[in-house]
Amino acid sequence: MTPKTKVIVIESPTNPLLAVVDIEKIAQFAREKQVTTIIDNTFATPVNQTPLELRIDIVVHSGTKYLGGHSDLCCGMVVCSHEKMEKILSLARVLGPSLDSRICYLLERSMKTLVLRVNEQTKNAMVVAQFLSDHPDIANVYYPGLDNFEGYEIAKHQMTGFGGMLSFEIKDKDPNRFVEELKIISPAVSLGGVESTICSPTLTSHVKMSAGERLRIGVTDSLLRLSIGLEDADDLKQDLDNALKKVPDINQVK
């Protein structure tokens, strides 16, 4: 914080390590300093987390992800008070981010099934996270719903569900080769759709950071981010297990 600080922007859970931020504490601190708060609530969705009730000022979503849910539209959403919305709309009219009728139709269609989709994805994610945490070829699993996760207690307090996103690190195997062996889970940068997708943050969202910077924040070359879809959880577990078995240990390759 400096005298010039006007806004605090947070994300919880974060991308890609699913770290959990204490939203109420941030909101209270910001209000004492008379600073506006903004949260990216894309990962949690309105189904699992309602930051306005935790006194955050402005909530943003990538509607392309869970709100759209079918990997077929591109949009964003802002949720806040009428007073703040008037200022945002005034700027938006100047910048011109207007949705066409087809995108509006697709978004309205998708919102009708949002709760059903997210609840099932959240349920599947817990099953897969527990499976991976017990797997001998997995070094670490990052998911707020695991009781040994660092942010579990905070997540349990401020979330009604832990979401459909998780990340994990493979032990002594080539992560790129592993992704190639998956049959049901597709490699893709986007997330939140009805289909399960996976990507390497090192090669996608964090590719422009140096190796040292990535290591400092915990984004290793073996880290993979997994967006859980609506497939049967047992099928997803089998797909992950089969791919892990097909990839030889790095030591064996050498």
Count of CB atoms situated within 10 Å of the CB of 249: 12
Averaged pLDDT of the chain: 96
pLDDT grade for 97, boundaries at 50, 70 and 90: confident
Query: Judging by beta carbons within 10 Å of its beta carbon (0-12, 13-18, 19+), is residue 111 exposed, middle or buried?
Result: middle
Q: What is the pLDDT averaged over residues 94-106?
A: 91
CATH 3.30.70.3270 is held by the domain 114-253: no
| pTM reported for the whole predicted model | 0.95
pLDDT grade for 250, boundaries at 50, 70 and 90: confident
Q: What is the DSSP string of 128-147?
A: HHHHHHT-TTEEEEE-TTST
pLDDT of residue 71: 95
**Would you say the CATH fold of 114-253 matches that of 7-111?**
no
Query: Judging by beta carbons within 10 Å of its beta carbon (0-12, 13-18, 19+), is residue 119 exposed, middle or buried?
Result: middle
Q: What is the pLDDT averaged over residues 99-106?
A: 94
Q: What is the pLDDT averaged over residues 148-170?
A: 98
Top-level CATH class of 7-111? alpha beta
**pLDDT tens-digit map of 211-243:** 999 999 999 999 999 999 999 999 999 999 999
Percent of the chain past pLDDT 70, that is, above it, reads 99
- Cα–Cα distance, 248 to 86 (Å, whole number): 57
Q: 193-226 burial string, b = 16+ CB within 10 Å, else e? A: beebbbbbbbeeebeeeeeeebeeeebbbbbbbb
Q: Name the more confident of 238 and 253.
A: 238
Give the strand pairing for 36-40 and 58-62. parallel
Domains of the chain, by residue range, sit at 7-111, 114-253
pLDDT of residue 252: 74
Bridge partners (DSSP) of residue 39 are: 10, 59
Tell me, rounded to whole angstroms, the distance of Cα 76 from its chain centroid. Answer: 15
For residue 254, pLDDT over 60 is answered with no
H helix runs in 144-232, sequence order: 152-158, 175-181, 211-217
**pLDDT tens-digit map of 39-78:** 999 999 999 999 999 999 999 999 999 999 999 999 999 9
pLDDT of residue 251: 80
pLDDT of residue 96: 81
